[in-house]
Amino acid sequence: METAKQIVKVLENRNVKYVFGIPGEENIHLVDAINQSDKIQFILVRHEQGASFMAEVYGRLTGQPGVATATLGPGAINLLLGVADAQTNSTPLIAITAQGGLNRIYKESHQVIDLRAMFQPITKWSTNIYTAQSTSEVITKAYDKAVNGRPGPVYVGIPQDVEEQDTGKQLIANPMPAENNAPRTEEINAAAQAIRQAKHPVVLAGNGIIRGHACDAMRQLMDATHLPVATTFMGKGVVDDRSPYALGVVGFMAHDYENFAFDQADLIISIGYGLSEFNPVKINPEGKTPIIHLNTFTEDTDEHYPVKINIVATLKESIPALTKALAGYQAPALQPAIKQAVTNELAQGAADSDAPLTPQQIVSATREAVDDQGVVLVDTGALKMWMARLYPTYAPNTCLIDNGLSTMSWTLPGAIGAKLAEPNKHILSVMGDGSFMMNSQELETAVRYHVPMTILLWVDKAYGLIKWKMDMEMGHHSEVDFNNPDFIQYVSSFGANAHQVTSRSDLVSSLRDSMTKDNGVNVIIAPVDYRENMKLINKLGKVTISL
């Protein structure tokens, strides 16, 4: 069996269903082997960056690595962004690219650069297959590395001549069992004692809880103890925002309502949080509030993250253990004023009016139109701040935000990966016009593969978040404004449906229609009035909340 077919055999054995990518001269045998498989579908994309984002979101939703492939040189380099994004978001992904043959990779040669070295800083493991006889073990190890421990991406390069070599008779190595580290009783008891002694404990919940399938355990802890819980942007959905103990999110660039809980806190219980999700200086500016850290890994050193008790264990075990150790305990309530402030701000968006709409109107209309289990992917930009702060989320993995690398334009290709991962759920990508034009070519991919999805486009003809930041820090902005094509004609030229909303009620009905029927690829264009950005900053600067 040649190397290319052996790679596919291992991927089939691991139940890989999709490989996203673009063929090149040096990986045509691998692409052909995938196309001969009756278990794996090759998804031909329009840019390798799109392939990496599709694979990343697929991996984020399924917990199994998405697979992206490309040719050597420029094709491989185009995969870098999504791979780096997966690394910072702790998402399993396997990147497989071609490489120059063994007879030339050691010297200056056409399209040959050291890809293994290039991918090494942004992956858990980066390697080449130097001999066909190692193929099965290398691909098996790549899969295991991606999913075990702290998940993340891996890279495998296939030299052109090795791709065609005979692998000989190879066994398919058994998958490595998942790590399952139980918490130590003495650490759980110490954490429980510290919580009981605290006057104002607050829980910080991160994406690791979702990744570790521990959301039910987290809700049981919250309901049993009444501990107030604030999530990171990436932790949205860990707890149901309708719970009386759910505070909302932290991570906004200004001192937001939820920060008042941390201002008063004398103990932070950090569960499933990683430093890449946001800078802890925002909730512990003087570094004086002690932290109980529960996660599957020890966090990096940060002066604003002073860990008092470090519980490194499987969250599905450590959270129930802590709940049991806190039997009979109930935390003092401090959240009603915070929750009311968030509710009041979102309520401002309920009033109907003509476009352009305020951010509050677009967020509230989106929540009104999307069902509880619908998956909303929120791109990077000013809209991320509004969606993260105000979009009520009721279940895990129903509001996906990238706050690791915070990449622009991941949500359009990501929506394709999301629909393939969750075919029975409605998929909505929320993007700004700046992000949209960076990867809009993947509309053609969605149309060609008949992937039903909706894109809600917030249009302000500017890089809105940078404009907002400039206005905050300098009182003016520059080099952030641009022009757009006629989006109706542009979207229609790809074979997708386009509609520009005229009011909030029009937005609600348009969203419902596009998602209820799953009728193809839809782009809804919503002009937004971002004058609310600085109004919010001025308002938050004057807010005081007594807890």
Residues 393, 524, single domain; the answer is yes
Give the pairing type, strands 427-432 and 399-401: unpaired
pLDDT in tens, the chain (547 residues): 789 999 999 999 999 999 999 999 989 999 999 999 999 999 999 999 999 999 999 999 999 999 999 999 999 999 999 999 999 999 999 999 999 988 888 878 887 899 999 999 999 999 999 999 999 999 999 999 999 999 999 999 999 889 888 888 777 777 777 778 899 999 999 999 999 999 999 999 999 999 999 999 999 999 999 999 999 999 999 999 999 999 999 998 888 889 889 999 999 999 999 999 999 999 999 999 999 999 999 988 999 999 999 999 999 999 999 999 999 999 987 667 888 888 888 888 999 999 999 999 999 999 999 999 999 999 999 999 999 999 999 999 999 999 989 999 999 999 999 999 999 999 999 999 999 999 999 999 999 999 999 999 999 999 888 888 888 888 898 998 899 999 999 999 999 999 999 999 999 999 999 987 667 999 999 999 999 889 988 888 877 776 6
pLDDT at 108: 81
Around Cβ 517, how many Cβ atoms within 10 Å?
10
Contact 247, 335 (CB under 8 A): yes
Q: Residue 516: CB partners within 8 Å, gap ≥ 6?
A: 426
Q: Which domain holds residue 315?
A: 198-334
- Cis, bond preceding 356 (omega within 30 deg of 0): yes
Same domain flag for 66 and 210: no
Pair (353, 319) in one structural domain: no
Whether 389 is covered by a domain: the verdict is yes
Minimal CA–CA distance to 292: which of 188, 222, 217? 188
Q: Do 147 and 253 share a domain, yes or no?
A: no
**What CA–CA distance (Å, rounded) separates 220 from 217?**
5
> If you ran DSSP here, which 8-state letter would residue 67 be given?
E
Are residues 523 and 382 located together in one domain of the fold?
yes
Same domain, 282 and 388: no
Please report the pLDDT score of residue 342 as a whole number. 86
Same domain? For 52 and 140 the reply is yes
Q: What is the pLDDT of residue 168?
A: 83
What span, in angstroms and rounded, lies between the C-alpha atoms of 21 and 79?
9
Backbone φ, ψ for residue 181 (5° rounding): -95, 120
Nearest to 89 by CA among 404, 477, 478: 404
Q: Could you count the other beta carbons within 10 Å of the beta carbon of residue 98?
A: 29
Mark residue 226 as left, alpha or beta (left: phi above 0; alpha: psi -120 to 50; beta: remaining).
left
Q: How far apart are CA 325 and CA 68, in angstroms?
A: 44
Chain centroid to CA 330 = 33
> Which conformational region is residue 109 in: left (phi greater than 0), alpha (psi within -120 to 50 degrees), or beta?
beta
Shared-domain flag, residues 329 and 407:
no
How far is Cα 141 from Cα 145, in angstroms, rounded to an integer?
Answer: 6
Last residue of a domain, one of 304, 334, 364: 334
CB-based contacts of 290, cutoff 8 Å, min separation 6: 194, 266, 267, 268, 306, 307, 308
Rg (CA), the chain: 24
Calculate ∠ Cα 105-26-448, nearest 5°.
Answer: 145
Contacts of the segment 536-539: beta carbons below 8 A, 24+ positions apart: 536/254, 537/254, 537/472
What is the pLDDT, as a whole number, of residue 335?
63
Q: What's residue 428's pLDDT?
A: 97
Alpha helices in 2-47 (DSSP H): 3-13, 28-35
**Residue 178 counted as domain residue:** no
DSSP string for residues in 391-441: ----STTSEEE--SS--TT-HHHHHHHHHHH-TTS-EEEEEEHHHHHHHTT
- pLDDT for 85-135, tens place per residue? 999 999 999 999 999 988 888 878 887 899 999 999 999 999 999 999 999
Report yes or no: 335 and 228 within 8 Å, Cβ to Cβ.
yes
C-alpha distances in angstroms, 189 versus 206, 218, 319? Answer: 22, 18, 12
* pLDDT at residue 265 in the model: 94
**In the listed set 310, 334, 358, which residue is the last one of a domain according to the structure?**
334
Number of domains in the chain: 3
pTM of the model: 0.94
Q: Count CB neighbours of 85 within 10 A.
A: 25
For residue 100, being part of any structural domain is answered with: yes
Task: Mark whether 95 and 40 lie in a shared domain.
Answer: yes
Report pLDDT for 101: 82
Q: Does any domain span residue 278? A: yes
CATH classification at residue 226: 3.40.50.1220
DSSP annotation of 284: -
On whether both 141 and 204 belong to a single domain, the answer is no
Q: 465-491 pLDDT, tens per residue?
A: 888 888 888 889 899 889 999 999 999
Indicate which CATH number applies to the domain containing 391: 3.40.50.970
Asked if the structure places residue 183 within a domain, the reply is: no
Q: Which of 164, 182, 215 is the last residue of a domain?
A: 164
* 434 belongs to a structural domain: yes
Amino acid of residue 440: S
The one-character DSSP state at 199 is S
Same domain? For 415 and 499 the reply is yes
CB 67 within 8 A of CB 96: yes
- Co-location of 212 and 123 in the same domain: no
Q: Is residue 220 domain-resident?
A: yes
Q: Is residue 188 part of a domain?
A: no
As a whole number of angstroms, the distance between CA 91 and CA 149 comes to 11
Q: Rounded to the nearest 5°, which phi and psi values hold at 382?
A: -60, -35
Chain Cα centroid distance, residue 300: 20
